[in-house]
């Protein structure tokens, strides 16, 4: 309080107390003791500023007096006190702070807000419990640089703050042919192409573009903070493969009339689309169908080929007969195990085409036979044939009086020679009559 004001107030109090009418003595003055929370408030009594509270105002005249207490950032309090002569009154006053209203927005939204180091929430944010004053605010958001600002709340009027955060990362604009591929950045799926991917950290990043049926595209890019790159990717389709299986196996496989090999066979690197597949096996009906292959598809096609042939079941007398069908050799009959070759085992000639055929049976020393046959689908034709032996002399015996030619049947231990001179005519030449014996070549 200034000296002038203090003097004026003191004089006023003295005049009020000491003055008397008609020469009477003045009544004693009253007192008001004022304490205030918080400290630092300003106190006025009847408009006169007093010293910093706690303060006692003395020599107050009887009657009403106005006490006004104020402090920056707090609501003002006015209190009327009525005093009697010489009365002392204690007044305790608690000031309430004025709370500001703060509305905070940020771009991007969702930024964390700290005020004087204390977390207050995420934008958009309404703060209604801050006393008036000056504050330091901090904004943070993943992928953006932190930002700090100073705030002054000096009145109850709502205050709005808009903050734009600068990205601390880079951006990539991705397109692919075809579209709809998954874009994976640093191992995280960031959506389908075409797409714009932001918040990519500075430095090297791995880019992977994946789409079913196409080879994955991989690349490493280096980006600077705030940089934006465009990446256009043409995906390479994965070829299809086709496995062709035939029952029975061994069928010749054709793709669009081009021979590929015998089943089972896998044809690789086929472009997506339609193909005509055909399987052929002698003695069976042809199998054919149209297939459609998708990208990267591994397809298996099975052909169960129905036979369109018949079978010949053949036995011969003797064994060792050569067999030909329509002039084509197919095999030779064999003797039964541990038996003579008089009768052969069953010999099967399979996959004989339907219709009329000729079978030729032959063996050296026997007259050949040609048989006409008819083969029916799925049926077995049973044939037993005996070949007639040809008479071909193979031995010559010379005696003193004659020369004998015939088929050698036996030479006894005594040296007698048994010959078949002609079919059914057998002669034994005693050893004593044999001058010499020699084999005959077939042409003799």
Question: Which residues partner with 262 through β-bridges?
Answer: 252
State how far the alpha carbon of 80 is from the alpha carbons of 83, 88, 89, in Å.
Answer: 10, 14, 11
Please name the fold of domain 240-304: Immunoglobulin-like (2.60.40)
Question: How confident is the chain (444 residues) per 10-residue block, as mean pLDDT?
Answer: 40 41 59 90 89 88 91 86 90 87 92 93 90 91 87 85 86 93 93 90 91 92 87 92 94 95 93 94 90 92 89 93 94 87 89 88 92 88 91 91 92 94 91 93 64
The whole-number pLDDT of residue 27 equals: 66
- β-strands 88-94, 30-37 pairing: parallel
Distances (CA, A) of 267 to 206, 243, 263, 272: 35, 6, 11, 13
Q: Would 170-234 and 309-386 be classified into the same CATH topology?
A: yes
Specify the pLDDT at position 11.
Answer: 43
Give bridge partners of residue 210 from the DSSP assignment. 182
Q: Tell me yes or no: is domain 170-234 CATH 2.40.50.140.
A: no
pLDDT score of 174: 94
Fold for the domain defined by 3-94: Immunoglobulin-like (2.60.40)
Every domain of the chain and the residues it spans: 3-94, 99-164, 170-234, 240-304, 309-386, 395-439
Q: Which of 111, 117, 230, 105 is nearest to 167 (CA)?
A: 111
Q: What is the pLDDT of residue 285?
A: 87
**Exposed, middle or buried, 127 (CB in 10 Å: 0-12/13-18/19+)?**
buried
Dmax (CA) for the chain in angstroms is 217
CATH for the stretch 99-164: 2.60.40.1120
pLDDT of residue 13: 43
* Alpha-carbon separation of residue 156 from 41, 99, 105, 128, 132 (angstroms): 19, 6, 19, 10, 8
Q: What's the topology of domain 309-386?
A: Immunoglobulin-like (2.60.40)
Q: What is the reported pTM?
A: 0.41
Q: Where are the beta strands (DSSP E) in 17-97?
A: 30-37, 42-45, 48-49, 55-60, 63-70, 77-83, 88-94
């Amino acid at each position: 309080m200034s000296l002038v004001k203090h003097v004026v107030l003191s004089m006023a109090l003295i005049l009020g107390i000491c003055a008397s009418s008609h020469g009477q003595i003045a009544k004693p003055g009253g007192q008001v003791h004022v304490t205030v929370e918080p400290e630092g408030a300003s106190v006025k009594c009847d408009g006169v500023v007093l010293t910093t509270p706690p303060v006692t105002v003395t020599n107050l005249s009887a009657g009403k007096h106005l006490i006004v207490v104020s402090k920056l950032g707090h609501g003002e309090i006015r209190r009327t006190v009525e005093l009697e002569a010489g009365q002392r009154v204690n007044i305790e006053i608690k000031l309430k702070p004025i709370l500001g209203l703060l509305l905070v927005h940020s771009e991007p939204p969702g930024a964390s807000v700290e005020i004087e180091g204390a977390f207050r929430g995420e934008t958009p944010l309404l703060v209604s419990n801050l006393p008036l004053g000056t504050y330091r605010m901090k904004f943070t958001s993943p992928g953006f640089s932190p930002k700090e600002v100073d705030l002054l709340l000096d009145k109850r009027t709502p205050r709005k703050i808009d903050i734009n955060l600068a990205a601390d990362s880079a951006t990539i604009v991705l397109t692919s042919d075809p579209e709809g591929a998954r874009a994976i950045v640093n191992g995280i799926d960031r959506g389908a192409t075409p797409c714009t991917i932001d918040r990519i950290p500075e430095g090297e990043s791995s880019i992977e573009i994946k789409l079913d049926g196409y080879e994955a595209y991989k690349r490493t890019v280096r980006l600077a903070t705030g940089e934006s790159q465009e990446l256009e990717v043409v995906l390479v389709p994965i070829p299809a493969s086709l496995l062709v299986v035939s029952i029975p196996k061994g069928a010749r496989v054709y793709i669009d009339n081009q021979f590929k090999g015998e089943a089972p066979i896998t044809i690789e690197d086929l472009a997506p689309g339609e193909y005509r597949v055909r399987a052929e096996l002698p003695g069976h009906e042809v199998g054919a169908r149209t297939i459609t292959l998708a990208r990267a598809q591994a397809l298996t096609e099975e052909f169960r080929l129905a036979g369109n042939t018949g079978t010949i079941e053949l036995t011969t007398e003797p064994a060792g007969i050569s067999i030909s069908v329509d002039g084509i050799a197919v095999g030779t009959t064999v003797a039964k195990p541990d038996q003579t070759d008089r009768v052969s085992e069953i010999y099967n000639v399979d996959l004989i085409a339907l219709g009329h055929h000729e079978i030729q049976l032959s063996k050296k020393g026997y007259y050949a036979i040609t048989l006409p046959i008819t083969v029916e689908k799925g049926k077995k034709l049973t044939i037993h044939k005996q070949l007639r032996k040809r008479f071909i002399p193979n031995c010559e015996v010379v005696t003193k009086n004659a020369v004998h030619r015939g088929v050698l049947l036996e030479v006894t231990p005594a040296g007698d020679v048994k010959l078949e001179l002609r079919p059914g005519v057998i002669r034994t030449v005693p050893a004593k009559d044999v001058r010499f014996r020699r084999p005959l070549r077939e042409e003799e």
